[in-house]
Amino acid sequence: METLMNNCTLFPILSGVGGALLGGFILWAWQQMRFQNLTEQFQSQTNLLELTKGEKDQLNKRHRELQEKVSVFRTKEYQLTNEATEWRDNFLAIEHQCKSLKEQLTNKEREFGRSKNRQ
């Protein structure tokens, strides 16, 4: 009877320990399943990244092509800017010559008018 009493007092303790162990095992198993799920998700995303390496190469190639076009455009822009500056300078020089010739013509007309009036 006495051993039964001792067993009865140990039963709640053992069942508590067993419950804790069972709960710990369930928690561990759930974490393992969750970890496996996350691992599978990571692997599938890695596979997607591997699939896009070709696309990445294409994008890099397209980027280089566009950089070359921009370089050509900037070179042409620089050349056109230089030409425009040259044309503007030529225009200003011609405009200055025209003003100078107009002044000379006006002066000649005045001189001619004065000489005509004297006669």
Q: Which residue carries 């900037």 as its tokens?
A: 74
> Of the candidates 13, 8, 36, which has an alpha carbon nearest to the alpha carbon of residue 21?
13
% of the chain with per-residue pLDDT over 70: 76
CA gap 79, 14 in Å, rounded: 92
Q: Binning pLDDT at 50, 70 and 90, where does residue 86 land?
A: very high
User: What is the dihedral angle through the alpha carbons of 31, 33, 34, 35, rounded to the nearest 10 degrees?
Assistant: 80
In tens, the pLDDT along 39-73 reads 887 777 766 666 577 788 888 899 999 999 999 99
In tens, the pLDDT along 16-43 reads 666 677 777 787 777 888 778 778 877 7
> CB-hemisphere CA count at 13 Å for 77?
6
pTM score, whole prediction: 0.42
